[in-house]
Structure 1
Amino acid sequence: MRLPTMSSNFLLAPIPESADYFTVRDIKMAVMGTSGVGKTAMIVRFLTKRFIGDYETNTGNLYSRLVVVEGDHMALQIQDTPGLLKVEDDVSQLTDMLRCVQSAEGFLLVYSITDYRSYEYIRHLHQHIRKVHSDAKIPIIIVANKGDLLHMRQVPSESGIQLANELGCSFVEISTSENCHDVCQVFQHLCKEIGKHQPINGGEKRRGSIIPRPKSPNMQDLKRRFKQVLSPKVKASSAMA
């Protein structure tokens, strides 16, 4: 199950000129996998290479960014999770990981094509997610990373596709170090899938925050207003930890 081709319209959110206010939808995702598969590298490359300006890094490896995906403004929160090989490795880290699973609305399950153990661990992570989220509609993408290291490959592409089909997930094989576009496509697709499954109350827009438009299209002012909206949510997440 490969990802469909996506447009490249995934930028720092512009300020709308046609309205005094615009709705920002909250998008929370978690990037999970064993140590050394490139989870953090994916997130940082996505945030630093694709966008203009700085991204916010909060406690607990929580990254925040205001983005626009095909016209939808989104307050994106990406949770980077600790890498484990076995449940018994560290109970405290497992607790943190499960907390991330509870708050996330979509997941990237990452393994390295050079590490068969990381591939086997994807099934274990998927089981944990399903225990917390019984709704089979929650978006999950299996990401085979380090696709440039073909001479070190331990996991064939066919194995990744087979596992994704078995678990009912999407699948993509990428190289974080060589292709930033593919990395962006993965995050963009997950944002859209999460947005599709967010509840709609009556005829209202999906849940989110209302940010007033500044008198002039000043990007720094927009970033400041976004931080003001996002800050209480991040604090609330930290307080639950």
Structure 2
Amino acid sequence: MRLIHNMTTIAECSSADYSPANRAIKIVVIGAGGVGKTALVVRFLTRRFIGDYERNAGNLYSREVQVDGEQVSLQVQDTPGVEISNNGAVLPDHVSCFLQWADAVVLVYSVTDRRSFELVPQLHQRLSQCSSVSVGGGVGPPVVLLANKTDLLHMRCVDPQQGPLLAGTLGCAFYEVSASEGYSQVHGAFHRLCCQLAKQRPPSPAATQPAAAEKRRPKSPNMQDLKRRFKQALSAKVRIVTSV
């Protein structure tokens, strides 16, 4: 995948960034605070690494990209770091809305932060709950598990084999990356996810217009029979009044 625009900066998206003719791919990136979510998004979209970001900004970024020859509008929702309390993850309501909005989810933990790794199953469970509500109990969006900061070997506290084991348990793809050291690993993870989404068929127009489909739905036989009986009764009452 190549970026169509030569981006030197990355800004929040606006309505001008979208092209209605292009298909949209929507990805949300979620994880504990300080795991490098924003660094990963910026590295993927701009090839650049910036060591210092505004924490918990939660920006939505949009870029026109090409995936397997198809031009699409890629929307990546960065999210504020999920807080971890003694009772587990504290997931704000707007983050739950992001999970329902997304076509795919990237779960991020840092290999230098054990609690961020232990948070992943809780986030995956919340994702499953949100997906069951938004799609009526159907199959949820694709999920990718990213282990970031692999360059900090002296600070590592999550063993290399634990990531793939967790991903296997959750049934998702897994990648170990370093946003600070290189672009290719980060690009490869997001690129494969975009290709997977691009191969999926977009929803049919009928599926996106439930109200119109509801209007065209034929009436039930019981309702039709009830209306027929009502008309017969009304006609009989009119005949009685006329004869009197």
**Bin of the TM-score, shorter chain as denominator length:** 0.5 to 0.7
What is the CA distance between 1:157 and its match in structure 2?
1.6
Structure 2-normalised TM-score?
0.67
| 1:12 aligned residue (4, 17, 33) | 4
Query: 1:131 aligns to what?
Result: 129
Query: 1:4 aligns to what?
Result: none
Identical positions, percent = 44
What is the CA distance between 1:132 and its match in structure 2?
1.4
Return closer, same or farther for 1:31/1:198 CA change in 2, 3 Å cut-off: farther
Query: 1:78 aligns to what?
Result: 76
What is the CA distance between 1:136 and its match in structure 2?
3.5
| 1:45 aligned residue (38, 43, 55) | 43
Q: Where does the alignment leave 5 or more consecutive residues of structure 1 unmatched?
A: 1-8, 14-21, 51-58, 208-241
| 2:109 aligned residue (108, 111, 114) | 111
Query: 2:168 aligns to what?
Result: 165
SS in 2 for 1:172: strand
SS in 2 for 1:76: strand
AA partner of residue 68 (structure 1): Q
What is the CA deviation profile of residues 177-209 of structure 1, one whole-angstrom value per residue up to 9, with x for unaligned ones? 00111111111111112223343549xxxx9xx
Q: Between the two structures, name the one with larger relative contact order (CA 8 Å, sep ≥ 6).
A: 1
Query: 1:239 aligns to what?
Result: none
Whole-angstrom CA distance in 2 between matches of 1:128 and 1:72:
32
AA partner of residue 153 (structure 2): L
The count of aligned residue pairs is: 180
| 1:140 aligned residue (136, 139, 143) | 143
After TM superposition, the structure 1 = structure 2 runs for residues 1-241 of structure 1, keeping only pairs within 5 Å, are: 9-12=1-4, 23-49=21-47, 61-86=59-84, 94-134=92-132, 135-136=138-139, 138-199=141-202, 201=204
Q: Where does the alignment leave 5 or more consecutive residues of structure 2 unmatched?
A: 6-19, 49-56, 133-137, 209-244
Residues 29 and 107 in structure 1, CA contact (< 8 A), matched pair in contact too: yes
What is the CA distance between 1:60 and its match in structure 2?
5.1
Structure 1-normalised TM-score?
0.67
SS in 1 for 2:22: strand
Whole-angstrom CA distance in 2 between matches of 1:200 and 1:84:
31
Residues 11 and 69 in structure 1, CA contact (< 8 A), matched pair in contact too: no
What is the CA distance between 1:11 and its match in structure 2?
2.6
Return closer, same or farther for 1:132/1:179 CA change in 2, 3 Å cut-off: same
Whole-angstrom CA distance in 2 between matches of 1:108 and 1:46:
13
AA partner of residue 115 (structure 1): D
